Every structure is written in structure tokens, then in C-alpha cells.
């Protein structure tokens, strides 16, 4: 998405709009994220002699957003801000520069919780289980297989601009969290980012200290499973119990958002292994009939949510990576590209090649 397109999506008079603050028992709204993980944006901008107030104004977000890490904004607005930051600094690695300064503490209550886990494995399970309390526009990925661990991050909110910068920042924060949990001797095996290869790709390998693959179907870090048993020396079991209690109180208040839970599980499933409606019901501890009924009460269905998630993954991969349509079809669990093309035409009214061609003909943002 070009910068003019990004800015055209900004709502008017955002500076005068109230800022919603999460934390202290208040949950992050759907499609929103806490600004804590990106709180370093003003500092990065100042390093390149760019005024944060000007960049925020151009992106259509209030500059007072950065006054408190619990303030929230829509993921689409964060994408606009990242795109404007990239233009102001003329750095394609803007997202990575912001992530360099982030730690688990930047995730707020969830970040403090994972630092109190007895070991790395428990910390990652907590992060995966509760990330939506700081970010309700994406899902975390966690898979242990063959002596390796894969952790990752996938945006589920549709039409987020500058997704390449968002993924750079997210996986950079994951890397810092893992280094913080495991210590300086920990190393990643490899890193994959769901974005086109940037001009300065070696910069990414220096940051992660591992091979980095671009044009990936998912944004992930892989490392040795032996690290899961590594104890966290400063963990406090009593504090962990208190923090989990606070998060569970918010969980109870959000129990009615059933379709959102299904969306999160579906997004994870499409990027790991396929899932049936029976398996989904089992994962949510309900019967298939209850699952169908509750989704119907929220005006949707398992089939409709599955199509929405597949459509969004397809759009992200076609716009932000150079993956072939055959590769994208396989990533979405289609046995052949023709079946994917038919489905995409039903979703969008055009073939995937036509859709991608229109996006590629748009002017690009400035390069670093």
C-alpha cells in the first residue's frame, strides 16, 4: 500500500478523539493494541531529526498517545503511523528500530506475568494464552515439534497498512523477550518474516544473529526445545498467581466474545495445521452444536469465519510477499491452485492474479 493510500484511510479529526486507556482491569478493544510495545517511536523519530508531533499528525493519530504505555489505538492506525515513520526516517527497517528498544515489560500486565513463570516453556504458554490482553489485532503462534520450538505472530485485523513494518517490529520484540528469558547464551536457529526481502537484508541477520528468510507464509522464530526447561531465576510464584488472577478477571468479562475466540484459533490453525469444526469445538470445551449456536447468536458461522480468515491471509501474502499463488494456495491448505483461485474469486469478485496486479501497480513508499 502506497503512503497516499495509507493516509487516505485515516479518519478525520483524530487529534480531538479521546484516547482509550487499557490496564487496571480495562481490556484492550477488539482490533486495538497497547502503544507500550511501540512506545519508542518518538525517540526513533527524534534520532532522525523528525518531529513526532508532525509524524503523528500526518498519520492521523494523537501525539498524546505516547504519554502512557497503556494507551491504545487501532492496529490500522499503528500501520499508518509506521508508514509515516518510515517516510520521515527514510528507513525501511523502521519497525525493527522501534523493536530494538522493547522488552517483555513493554507488554504491560502480560509482560510482567511471563517474567514470573517458573521456566521459559511456561512463560511462552502464558504469552500465547494471554497476548490478546495487550494486542487484540493479532494472534501468537507456538508449536513444539522434533526438538524445535516455533514462536510467531500473525495479524488477524483486515486491511492493516505497512504490515511489513508491523511484522518486523513484532518479531523483533519476540526476539528480545526470548533473550531476556533465556539469557545471552540463547540463539535463534532461524527467523522467517512474512514480507518481501528488503534492500538491507543483512541488517536483519545482524539483529537476529541467525539466518533470516523473507517471503514466508508466517512470521516466526525457531530455536532449540531444550531452552523450554530453562528456569527463570527471579520468578516469584506468589506474584505470578496475583497477576494471573487479575488477567483472569478480565477474561471472565470478555467471555461473551465467542466469535473472536474462534477467529484467533482459526488464524493459528491455518498457519500450523488445518482444523475441523469438531476440533474447534473440542478446543473451546463445547459441543459442535453449542459452537454453531453461539456463533449464530453473534451473526456468523464457522464457515464464514474460516473464509474471512483465509481471505485475509491470502491478501496479506499476495500484497506483502513475493510468494507464488501456488505457494499461497498450499499455505492455506488447498490441494491445488485452481481451487484457491475459485475461492478467492468468490471472496473478492476477481482472480488472485488480477487482485495482486492491481496492488503491485500502485506507487511504492520511499526506500531507505
% of the chain exceeding 90 in pLDDT:
67
Query: If you count them, how many residues does the chain have?
Result: 368
Calculated CA dihedral for residues 242, 248, 249, 250, nearest 10 degrees: 120
Across 54-63, 80-89, 301-310, least confident range: 301-310
Domain 3-229 shares a fold with domain 257-360: no
Question: First vs last Cα of the chain: how many Å apart?
Answer: 16
Q: How does residue 19 score in pLDDT terms, banded at 50, 70 and 90?
A: confident
pTM exceeds 0.85, yes or no: yes
Q: pLDDT digits over 38-50, tens only?
A: 999 999 999 999 9
In 10 A of CB 303, how many CB atoms?
A: 11
Q: pLDDT digits over 251-261, tens only?
A: 766 555 778 77
pLDDT of residue 68 exceeding 80:
yes
**DSSP 8-state secondary structure symbol assigned to residue 284:** T
Q: pLDDT digits over 200-247, tens only?
A: 899 999 999 999 999 999 999 999 999 999 999 899 999 999 999 888
The pLDDT, as a whole number, for residue 2 is: 60
pLDDT of residue 366 exceeding 60:
no
The pLDDT, as a whole number, for residue 255 is: 55
Q: How does residue 62 score in pLDDT terms, banded at 50, 70 and 90?
A: very high
Q: How does residue 7 score in pLDDT terms, banded at 50, 70 and 90?
A: low
Residues 6+ apart with CB under 8 A from 227: 120, 149, 182, 186
Q: Mean pLDDT score of the chain, rounded to an integer? A: 89
pLDDT of residue 11 exceeding 80:
no
Domain boundaries, the chain: 3-229, 257-360
Q: How does residue 1 score in pLDDT terms, banded at 50, 70 and 90?
A: low
- For residue 130 the three cell numbers come to 494471554
Q: pLDDT digits over 156-209, tens only?
A: 888 899 999 999 999 999 999 999 999 999 999 999 999 999 988 999 999 999
The pLDDT, as a whole number, for residue 75 is: 96
Q: pLDDT digits over 267-293, tens only?
A: 777 776 667 888 888 878 889 999 899
Enter the CATH code of domain 257-360.
1.10.10.60
Enter the CATH code of domain 3-229.
3.90.1520
pLDDT of residue 354 exceeding 90:
yes
- For residue 269 the three cell numbers come to 490453525
pLDDT of residue 3 exceeding 70:
no
Average pLDDT on 300-319 reads 90
pLDDT of residue 301 exceeding 80:
yes
The pLDDT, as a whole number, for residue 259 is: 82
The pLDDT, as a whole number, for residue 333 is: 85
In 10 A of CB 165, how many CB atoms?
A: 27
pLDDT of residue 23 exceeding 80:
no
Average pLDDT on 78-96 reads 96
The pLDDT, as a whole number, for residue 268 is: 78
Helix (H, G, I), strand (E, B) or coil at 192: strand
**What φ, ψ does residue 196 adopt, rounded to 5°?**
-70, 155
Residues 6+ apart with CB under 8 A from 302: 262, 277, 280, 291, 292, 295
pLDDT of residue 359 exceeding 80:
no
pLDDT of residue 353 exceeding 70:
yes
Amino acid at each position: 500500500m502506497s503512503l497516499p493510500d495509507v493516509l487516505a484511510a485515516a479518519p478525520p479529526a483524530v487529534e480531538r478523539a479521546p484516547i482509550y486507556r487499557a490496564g487496571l482491569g480495562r481490556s484492550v478493544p477488539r482490533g486495538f493494541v497497547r502503544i507500550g510495545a511501540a512506545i519508542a517511536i518518538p525517540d526513533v523519530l527524534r534520532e532522525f531529526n523528525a518531529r513526532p508531533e508532525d509524524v503523528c499528525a500526518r498519520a492521523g493519530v494523537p501525539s498524546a498517545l505516547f504519554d502512557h504505555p497503556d494507551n491504545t489505538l487501532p492496529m490500522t492506525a499503528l500501520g499508518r503511523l509506521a508508514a509515516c515513520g518510515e517516510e520521515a526516517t527514510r528507513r525501511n527497517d523502521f519497525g525493527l528500530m522501534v523493536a530494538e528498544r522493547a522488552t517483555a515489560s513493554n507488554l504491560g500486565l502480560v509482560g510482567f506475568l511471563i517474567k514470573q513463570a517458573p521456566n521459559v516453556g511456561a512463560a511462552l504458554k502464558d504469552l500465547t494464552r494471554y497476548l490478546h490482553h495487550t494486542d487484540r489485532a493479532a494472534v501468537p503462534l507456538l508449536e513444539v515439534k522434533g526438538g524445535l520450538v516455533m514462536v510467531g505472530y500473525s495479524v488477524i485485523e483486515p486491511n492493516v497498512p505497512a504490515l511489513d513494518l508491523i511484522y518486523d517490529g513484532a518479531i523483533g520484540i519476540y526476539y528480545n523477550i526470548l533473550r531476556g528469558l533465556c539469557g545471552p547464551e540463547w540463539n535463534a536457529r532461524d527467523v522467517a518474516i512474512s514480507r518481501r526481502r528488503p534492500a538491507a537484508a543483512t541488517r536483519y541477520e545482524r539483529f537476529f544473529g541467525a539466518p533470516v528468510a523473507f517471503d514466508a507464509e508466517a512470521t516466526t522464530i525457531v530455536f532449540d526445545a531444550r531452552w523450554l526447561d530453562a528456569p527463570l531465576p527471579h520468578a516469584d510464584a506468589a506474584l505470578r498467581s496475583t497477576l494471573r488472577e487479575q488477567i483472569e478477571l478480565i477474561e471472565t468479562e470478555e467471555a461473551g466474545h465467542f466469535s473472536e475466540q474462534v477467529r484467533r484459533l482459526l488464524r493459528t490453525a491455518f498457519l500450523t495445521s488445518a482444523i475441523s469444526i469438531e476440533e474447534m469445538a473440542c478446543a473451546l470445551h463445547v459441543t459442535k452444536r453449542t459452537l454453531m449456536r453461539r456463533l449464530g447468536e453473534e451473526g456468523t458461522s464457522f464457515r464464514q469465519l474460516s473464509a474471512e480468515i483465509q481471505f485475509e491471509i491470502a491478501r496479506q501474502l499476495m500484497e506483502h510477499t513475493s510468494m507464488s499463488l501456488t505457494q499461497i494456495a498450499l499455505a492455506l491448505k488447498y490441494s491445488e491452485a485452481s481451487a484457491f483461485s475459485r475461492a478467492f474469486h468468490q471472496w473478492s469478485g476477481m482472480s488472485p492474479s488480477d487482485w495482486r496486479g492491481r496492488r503491485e501497480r500502485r506507487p511504492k513508499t520511499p526506500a531507505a
